[in-house]
Amino acid sequence: MMRGLLGALLTLCIHQAAAETWHAYGANRGGERYSELDQINRGNVARLEPAWTYRTGEPQRFPERFEDSSFESTPIIVGDKLVLCTPFNRIVALDPATGAEQWTFDAEVSLDNPEAMIYKCRGITQWTDPQAAPGTACRTRLFMGTSDSRLFAIDGETGERCAGFADNGEVFVEPSKELLFPGEVHLDSPPVVVNGVVVIGTSIADNQRAEGQSGRVSAYDARTGALRWRFDPIPRDAADPAAQTWHDESWRRAGHANVWSILSVDEERDLVFLPTGSAAPDFYGGNRPGENRYANSLVALRGATGEVVWHFQFVHHDLWDYDLPSQPTLIELEKDGRTIPAVVQTTKQGWVFVFNRETGESLFPIEERPVPGGVVDGEWLSPTQPFPTAPPPLVAQKLDPEDAWGFTFIDRMMCKKRIAELRNEGLYTPPSTQGTILMPSWTGGANWPGPAWHRDSGLLIVNTTRIATQVRLYPREAAGEIASVGAEAGAAILRETIPSLQLGTPYAMTVGYLLSPLGAPCNPPPWGGLSAVDLATGTIKWDVPLGSIDRETPIPLPFEWNLGTPNSGGPIVTAGGLVFIAATMDQRFRAFDVETGEVLWKHRMPAGSQTTPMTYEVNGRQYVVIASGGHAWYDTPMGDYVVAFALPE
């Protein structure tokens, strides 16, 4: 009897910790990535050490596809378990204190996707049915999307399918038309649940064709799996006012504008916030003249119906793949003596936009400013783009020949020559047959991991990549010229050229980072950074390099050279005054002082860690956990590790 009572009390304590810590992908459904835990703090973080390590075993289960994967999962606390998904859509439940495996669920995904597609699962979502009695099967459900476009509902206690949800616990999220190839449409990011409705977006292979898949968002009844509503970011009805921004009725044939990143939910207001993508294809838009709403927009929908409440478009007629990459962050902002329910959106251009999430009103002025003109035949161009007046951009937005950088004098001169040869008039210079510099890159600026909101200081912590890109259009008759480039380029993100045919348009294209002969970026460092933005004043409090290049130099260095690296994976912040982030190409996991940006602790991980960590407390001990599995595109060491850190007992 006593043993049972103690077990019940322990379970209760773990449940209480779960309610206060990491119960959703971004800590909460608004994506704050903040924890109130402070056992690990500025004064003792230097003593942080590995507490346990778990291996998923995916290299052995999927040897033929493992090198085409990325371990981007952020675990969550579900009751008394730590739960995560692997790149191949296996859900794993662990003991949060020891890392011991409790149960697993295998979605048995198709392995027919082409090698250019990356297998990944960024996270899962839990939902507890308020109408179900305690102890009822599937009272707490885990929702996960898969690389073969299925949405699963799994019992959070046992890992068994929720039989009453759709077809034995799964529903196929149908594409709008026949697939070009397996995996053209896939579900990487976690769904969200708002008042009993589970909502999920889609990832779609970029730059394949003009008349691509619909980027529609689907909503299902969280109990039954029945379809509740769909929202297409491209209006499909002439009566929709947004259809007027698609000239020549191009809305009838255009594709994408999909929501591939993470959604946010304000359940009290019954709002779902969608960060929408670019219309297809990314670098030529003659087939879709006009501003193209609701592409490249933050769209607030009514959760119950999918109706548009408000929206804001960040890029008119995108030609640069500047889609919205990150989860909208819902915060309570103290500004000018008021508490404002706000939503923050970071962008690939390095901007931070802040809106009242009830009304869509911007909290800082936004100006429509003229942008460079001159486009290839058949293209349409918006004469202006929106520029926020505050906060200032977090990354450089132009690269001049005089800015060229190199490890050697010859390296620098070659970069200077290449920069001068390319079209280069600053932000929003259109793609060209001459070749155009994109600064920042189509990978950001900010990207999918999203920022973290430190409630105590009012600082938004954002990591960014800071490398110039070159994009070039090829007339269709020259498309064969880039086919051979594609055979050599591979999928790694730092290859100099990645090609695409853009079927259905007059132009094929290549895009890639602007690199020196020695493989260094041609723009000056830092090439990755971490910034703290004061959202009340719209100013940058501090900005520091993120990452060392000691692994990336032609000859490995015996010391850290902190010039920053491209990064993928985001920060979290805690009441202990800390920022935790890995993300870089140097395999290091770091803790920064949230007030100053000073590095207080670092640890060399067993593999690349291109994901976002999380933290929780169990049995009176705070843990910080991160997946370490590498990323095929960032060429970081692969692995299958989940590592928990804690202070010495």
Pairing relationship of beta strands 572-574 and 34-35 according to DSSP bridges: parallel
Q: Which two tokens stand for residue 493?
A: 């993100």
Give the type of residue at 285. G
State how far the Cα of 50 lies from the Cα of 29, in Å rounded to an integer.
28
State how far the Cα of 343 lies from the Cα of 114, in Å rounded to an integer.
37
Neighbouring C-beta atoms of residue 426, cutoff 10 Å: 13
Contact 186, 117 (CB under 8 A): yes
Nearest CA-CA partner of 575 in 560, 600, 561, 595: 595
**Of 80, 148, 282, 321, which is the active-site residue?**
321
Query: What is the distance between the terminal CA atoms of the chain, rounded to a whole angstrom?
Result: 29
Could you tell me how many helices (H) and strands (E) the chain has, helices first?
4, 40
Contact 5, 12 (CB under 8 A): no
- What are phi and psi for residue 194, nearest 5 degrees? -130, 115
Place of tokens 């500047």: 322
Neighbouring C-beta atoms of residue 65, cutoff 10 Å: 19
Has 321 been annotated as catalytic?
Answer: yes
Q: Is the dihedral of CA 27, 33, 34, 39 positive or negative?
A: positive
SS (H, E, C) 508-563: EEEEEECECCCCCECCCCCCEEEEEEECCCCEEEEEEECCCCCCCCCCCCCCCCCC
Q: Which residues are catalytic?
A: 321
